Amino acid sequence: MLNYIWAFMIMIGILWAIIHGRAAALTQGLLDSAADAVSLCITMLGVVSMWSGILKIGERSGLVDRLAGRMEPVLHFLFPDLPREHPARRSIAVNMIANILGLGWAATPAGLQAMKELKELEEERGAGKSVAARGMPAPLPGTASREMCTFLIINISSLQLIPVNMIAYRGQYGSAAPAAIVGPAIAATAVSTLTAVLFCRFMCRGGRR
């Protein structure tokens, strides 16, 4: 659907420029935008490489594992039915840590791994009798589990202490104070995260799926 929307908007823009005799300006705008896109990609490549490298150093040094251990109370609160020794807990913790640091790209692999592990856990629950024993309905094939829904919502609304992407964008486009976005970003993402947590807790009441 988004592809159709974008295609429609592009076609309308092109037709509008042609009808109003702005075809030359349209062509120049396309060329300038292409140059800006390449320049921005190069800038973002450096930023992403640096922060992803820092995250990798943290993983190899054991810092990420220590931080993940510190997040156990948070994980237990958000995912009360997720077994304590399940590997998805570490993937979720790494994803949340990366998102908090503003490393969206570095958080993606951990998030995908967490979803895969949560899916496997739900399949195990469906194959066994533990679901019925807990009084929960058996999951339908292709249905997201409670943990998967919670993780997705928390991931989307994640608190960010260092909005790396926004700082890089602002610096690329000539902002006099690229880091001025930090305060508003923390406030906005704190509200979104709190709202997400309250929503998840409300929807998980009474064994809702």
Share of the chain above pLDDT 70, in %: 89
> How far is C-alpha 158 from the chain's CA centre?
7
Q: Rounded to whole angstroms, how far apart are CA atoms 86 and 121?
A: 9
Check: pTM over 0.85? Answer yes or no.
Answer: no
**Distance from C-alpha of 200 to C-alpha of 11, rounded to nearest angstrom:** 40
Band (100; pLDDT cuts 50, 70, 90): confident
Which tens digit of pLDDT belongs to each residue from 133-170? 455 555 566 677 888 889 999 888 888 888 877 887 78
Segment 166-186 mean pLDDT = 84
pLDDT tens profile 12-42: 988 988 888 888 888 888 888 888 888 878 8
CB count, 10 Å around CB of 94?
Answer: 25
Supply the mean pLDDT for the chain: 81
Domain positions in the chain are 38-207
- Look at the alpha carbons of 90, 94, 97, 100 in this order and tell me if their dihedral is positive or negative: negative
Phi-psi region of 174 (alpha: psi -120 to 50; beta: other; left: phi over 0): left
Q: Where are the alpha helices (DSSP H) in the chain?
A: 2-19, 23-61, 63-70, 72-78, 88-100, 104-127, 130-133, 146-156, 164-172, 182-203
Per-residue pLDDT, 130: 47
pLDDT in tens, 76-91: 888 888 888 888 888 8
Whether 160 and 89 have beta carbons less than 8 Å apart is answered as no
